[in-house]
Amino acid sequence: MGNSSLTTHLRHIDVAMPDFAEQRQFYTEMWGLTETASDTGVSFLAADGSPEQYVVRLRQGAHKRTDLIAFGAATAADVNTLAARLIAQGVKLLHEPMQLDTPGGGYAVRFFDNEGRVVEVSADVTPRQHRKIEAREPIPVRLSHVLMNSPTPEATVAWYIKHLGFRLSDTMCLGSRGEIMWFLRCSTFHHSFGIVRGPHAAFHHASFEMRGIDEFMRGTGRMRGRGIERLWGPGRHRAGDNAFSYFLDRAGNTVEYTTELEVLDEDTWHPHLYDLRDPANADQWGTANEMEEFIAAKSHNDVDPGLFVAPPM
């Protein structure tokens, strides 16, 4: 089977932070997610248009960290195959495939990537009853993609391609400073995951797909009207051809509203290298505020204290 991908899609991103109540309020009352399950210091948040049981898990913790990034697999047999492959390749597992006790259950393997992030790949999760998001309804349909900062991005991109079979869609560079951002896919969506060159390993941003441009703009306007700190946007990227508006959540994590992410033809697609010295490669519309180093640094985030440390749940 070689290094073909056994992952099918992005499921959820799990984060911890000290100010749990404030973060929970942000994602439910402002960002537009729905709490579907909770316990003391834990909240499972779904996107109303997605069959995933949850797309964000919040956990109260003494320190801000990324608990894990979760992807789906088609079958339990694929999870077993992936686990065997990872063991043979020397990847450190947190646990071999086992039944999950999170909402929807499922069967999953967990492991560390090369920089110590926790990754989960699961199958047989019971789909959640979801609904069609209506016109002019400015709430997320699904979790679109997650990007991570890396001080060794070339090695990290190679790790995900080798061990999880991800494919490179496009790369961004900045003139003589070289390549700074890599977009990876595990399905026909342009990217579900990505790596950004940064000073340390940390969460860069999570992006949430809106129904369309009108809903995207209404959500962007709602955030601005409520005084949520806007980093960048609205605009439209070249790589992925998706609209973007970036904000900071209450813990200082970058979150994005997006829409119309490009769907690729696997048989004909060839990766591009886009130079960000051309402003149109960052924002085709030319409507966003200028992306400068002070703004970019806010998405570098704090050093993640959870690297090579298993989350408590």
Same domain for 158 and 275, yes or no, is yes
Asked, for residue 271, whether it belongs to a domain, the answer is yes
Q: What are phi and psi of 161, to 5 degrees?
A: -70, -45
Q: How many residues does the chain have?
A: 313
DSSP-derived secondary structure for 117-161: -EEEEEE-PPPPP--PPPTT--S-SEEEEEEEEESSHHHHHHHHH
Share of the chain above pLDDT 70, in %: 99
CATH number at residue 225: 3.10.180.10
Q: What is the pTM of this model?
A: 0.97
According to DSSP, residue 55 is labeled S
Per-residue pLDDT reduced to its tens digit, 117-144: 999 999 999 999 999 999 999 999 999 9
Task: Round to whole Å and give the CA distance between 121 and 273.
Answer: 29
The total number of structural domains that make up the chain:
2
Please report, rounded to a whole number, the percentage of residues in the chain having pLDDT higher than 90.
98
> Which range marks the domain in which residue 294 is found?
142-298
Q: What's the confidence (pLDDT) of residue 111?
A: 98
Residue 310, in any domain of the structure: no
Distance between CA atoms of 209 and 267, rounded to whole angstroms? Answer: 25
pLDDT in tens, the chain (313 residues): 345 789 999 999 999 999 999 999 999 999 999 999 999 999 999 999 999 999 999 999 999 999 999 999 999 999 999 999 999 999 999 999 999 999 999 999 999 999 999 999 999 999 999 999 999 999 999 999 999 999 999 999 999 999 999 999 999 999 999 999 999 999 999 999 999 999 999 999 999 999 999 999 999 999 999 999 999 999 999 999 999 999 999 999 999 999 999 999 999 999 999 999 999 999 999 999 999 999 999 999 999 999 999 999 9
Q: Encode pLDDT of 144-177 as tens digits.
A: 999 999 999 999 999 999 999 999 999 999 999 9
Asked if the structure places residue 2 within a domain, the reply is: no
Q: For residue 152, what are the CA distances in angstroms to 180, 198, 296? A: 11, 8, 18
**Distance from C-alpha of 226 to C-alpha of 206, rounded to nearest angstrom:** 20
